[in-house]
Copies of this chain bind each other. A is one copy, B any other.
């Protein structure tokens, strides 16, 4: 067994926090720090409709890929925070859409995280517009370029803190013609899609590289 050189962690240019120090932090400070430690986040607007026909829109920063065949998408929801109407509608109707947040709408998308009364749709308060297809009752966001509709497959309760993970199956998806590459990869940056960090930072992006499929190095 070969061993690589080992370094002890040099902490002179870094802040080091242990779990007890993190637990002792002021609440807002800890929330900002821990929310920015995971790296960049996807930003999607999750749109739902209640059984009575009331639409709802909420920004989500925890949408993750679960599988391609079948096409499954995961999303973390904290039941006690703003997306609680989203969660209720999604569980009641079994349907929702995810719509990329882009450069033109990120300020309006952010505004969906404010607490609104249940009878006022965030589509109205943010001046984003509803769009419908014949596949789903849930609305799409007109101003979003990349969007997909989902059916609820699984609701997972995370015991560690009462958070919920929603697994959905893609029913249909929309991608602008001019950003699809021949091998299926889509240039989401060209559609203006933004990345998030923390709870309130928005980033534009520039492609560094698309690397080839990684193969093991040959022994020289």
Contacts and interface: CB of A to CB of B under 8 A. Distances in A.
Contact of A114 (B71, B180, B188, B217): B217
Count class of interface residues, chain A: 35 or more
Given A11-B174, A35-B68, A173-B37, A184 B2 contact: no
Chain A's interface: helix, strand, loop or mixed, by majority? mixed
A54 B129 CA distance: 54
B161 A115 contact: no
A96 interface: no
B40 A71 contact: no
Contacts of A189: 197, 203
Given A11-B174, A65-B35, A154-B160, A113 B214 contact: yes
A45 to B, nearest CB: 11
